[in-house]
């Protein structure tokens, strides 16, 4: 039996298309690792649950909670993990200790800087050394693995997130969607928000909308955004509808770079590095510090339609993954 693992909203969004096509074709059960508890209302299948006992260090607590739970792996012959959270790394390590095969969805993403993003870059590199099947979203991701000496069972599938949005039409309205949450930006969220608010003030013809992240390091600075429409966190479908009609996007997210590319929109990425470099210079544009934001914003505002094709797939990744796994007899 395959154990399909998720705990965060992005993980669930990217495994959801697989659950649809696996039904009736692959014997699986779900494991919920507990980060975003509201996700359970969307899941009707039988599910195993992990309870993380918090200690002084959250990352240590996740690792220890997973490694010590033998019952999670009862009757399991393979596990499927998505992405690069610490729970993903811990599950892969625990499976390896039990000689259980590991399937890594969204394999091969790299910045080659272990501190950007932290701790995700270390996590995904470590999982690649453990995994038995590597489901890569792009040719570049697969090439990263090959350069590292990982050549067996590397499959280019496209990104499953696009399966969720393939039927949603793109529009361009006078709307700038903003998201900001990453750990690397917490120490200067205030400066980012000040620059974003200034842009909103100086561009009254554009509506700036920011779904505020509940993390206290972000939320406490919301009062700075006097000229931005700050809204509560949105359900995924509502957020995607907003994204689909934006003129362009300002974000520090990783995954949003994929969705904006599919919607044929440009995206300012407020980070020092991105593991999704396929779209750089066409769809996504790095902005390393708040001081660089205004010039980059003005450039993209004047030329906001990309000239290229989405590098992350065609919206039918789940079907190709099912076919590949059945061929491999997983």
242-269, pLDDT tens digit by residue? 999 999 999 999 899 999 999 999 999 9
Both 105 and 183 in a single domain?
no
- Is the per-residue pLDDT at 330 higher than 80? no
Instruction: Give a yes or no: residue 224 inside a domain.
Output: yes
Same domain flag for 116 and 199: no
Q: Give the separation between CA 50 and CA 34, rounded to whole angstroms.
A: 6
Is the N-terminal amide bond of 117 cis, ω within 30° of 0? yes
Whether residue 31 contacts residue 50, with contact meaning beta carbons closer than 8 Å, is answered with yes
At residue 78, the pLDDT reads: 97
In a shared domain, residues 285 and 318: no
178 CB-near residues (< 8 Å, 6+ apart) = 196, 208, 209, 210, 228, 249, 250, 251
Binning pLDDT at 50, 70 and 90, where does residue 8 land?
confident
Question: Does the structure show a pLDDT above 80 at 281?
Answer: yes
Both 229 and 161 in one domain: the answer is no
Instruction: Tell me: pLDDT of 140 over 90.
Output: yes
For residue 289, pLDDT beyond 70: yes
312: its two tokens: 């992350």
Say if residue 54's pLDDT is above 80.
Answer: no
Look at residue 63 in the predicted model and tell me its pLDDT.
79
Of 42-46, 166-170, 212-216, the least confident: 42-46
In a domain, 200, yes or no: yes
307 in a structural domain: no
Backbone angles phi, psi at 281, to 5 degrees: 85, -10
Is 275 within a domain? yes
pLDDT digits (tens, 9 = 90+) for 70-121: 889 999 999 999 999 999 999 999 999 999 999 999 999 999 999 999 999 9
Which structural domain range is residue 250 located in? 175-302
Count of domains observed in the chain = 2
In this structure, are 242 and 135 located in the same domain?
no
pLDDT at residue 329, as a whole number: 83
Give the model's pLDDT for residue 51. Answer: 78
Domain match, 47 and 141 both: yes
Q: Which tens digits make up the pLDDT trace of 219-230?
A: 999 999 999 999
CA distance 326 to 134: 15
Structure tokens at 26: 């692959």
**In the chain, pLDDT over 90 holds for what percent of residues?**
83
Same domain, 114 and 237: no
DSSP state of 280: B
Rounded percentage of the chain residues whose pLDDT exceeds 70? 97
pLDDT of residue 55: 73
Any domain includes 77: yes
Q: Does 267 share its domain with 211? A: yes
- Give the dihedral sign, CA 317/321/323/324: positive
Instruction: Please check the confidence at residue 43 and state whether its pLDDT lies above 80.
Output: no
Tokens for 214?
A: 């509940």
pLDDT top residue among 43 and 4: 4
Same domain, 117 and 143: yes
- Statement to judge: residues 185 and 282 lie in one domain: yes
> Could you tell me if residue 308 is inside a domain?
no
Q: Tell me the whole-structure pTM to 2 decimals.
A: 0.90
Whether 151 and 217 map to the same domain: the answer is no
204 within domain boundaries: yes
- 170 domain-assigned: no
CATH number of the domain bearing residue 227: 3.40.50.2000
CB 233 within 8 A of CB 212: yes
Q: Rounded mean pLDDT of the chain?
A: 93
In whole angstroms, give the CA distance from residue 221 to residue 232. 14
Do 59 and 179 fall into the same domain?
A: no
């Amino acid at each position: 039996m395959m154990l399909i693992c998720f705990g965060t909203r992005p993980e669930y969004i990217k495994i959801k298309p697989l659950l649809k096509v696996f039904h009736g074709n692959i014997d699986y059960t779900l494991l919920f690792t507990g980060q975003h508890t509201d996700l359970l209302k969307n899941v009707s299948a039988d599910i195993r649950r992990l309870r993380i006992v918090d200690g002084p260090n959250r990352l240590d607590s996740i690792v220890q909670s997973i490694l010590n739970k033998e019952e999670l792996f009862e009757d399991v012959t393979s596990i499927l993990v998505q992405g690069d959270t610490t729970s993903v790394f811990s599950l892969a390590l625990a499976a390896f200790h039990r000689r259980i095969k590991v399937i890594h969805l969204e394999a091969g993403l790299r910045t080659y800087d272990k501190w950007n993003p932290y701790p995700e870059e270390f996590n995904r590199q470590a999982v690649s050394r453990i995994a038995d099947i590597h489901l890569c979203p792009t040719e570049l991701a697969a090439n990263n693995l090959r350069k590292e000496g990982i050549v067996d069972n590397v499959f280019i599938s496209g990104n499953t997130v696009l399966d969720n949005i393939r039927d949603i039409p793109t529009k361009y309205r006078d709307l700038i969607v903003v998201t900001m949450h990453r750990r690397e930006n917490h120490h200067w969220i205030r400066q980012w928000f000040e620059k974003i608010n200034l842009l909103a003030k100086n561009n009254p013809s554009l509506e700036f909308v920011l779904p505020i992240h509940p993390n206290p390091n972000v939320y406490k600075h919301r009062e700075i955004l006097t000229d931005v429409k700050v809204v509560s966190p949105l359900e995924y479908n509502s957020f995607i509808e907003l994204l689909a009609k934006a003129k362009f996007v300002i974000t520090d997210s990783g995954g949003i770079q994929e969705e904006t590319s599919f919607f044929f929109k440009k995206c300012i990425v407020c980070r020092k590095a991105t593991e999704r470099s396929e779209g750089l210079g066409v769809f996504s544009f790095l902005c390393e510090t708040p001081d660089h934001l205004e010039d980059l914003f003005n450039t993209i505002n004047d030329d906001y339609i990309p000239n290229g094709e989405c590098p992350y797939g065609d919206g039918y990744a789940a079907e190709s993954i099912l076919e590949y796994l059945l061929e491999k007899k997983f």
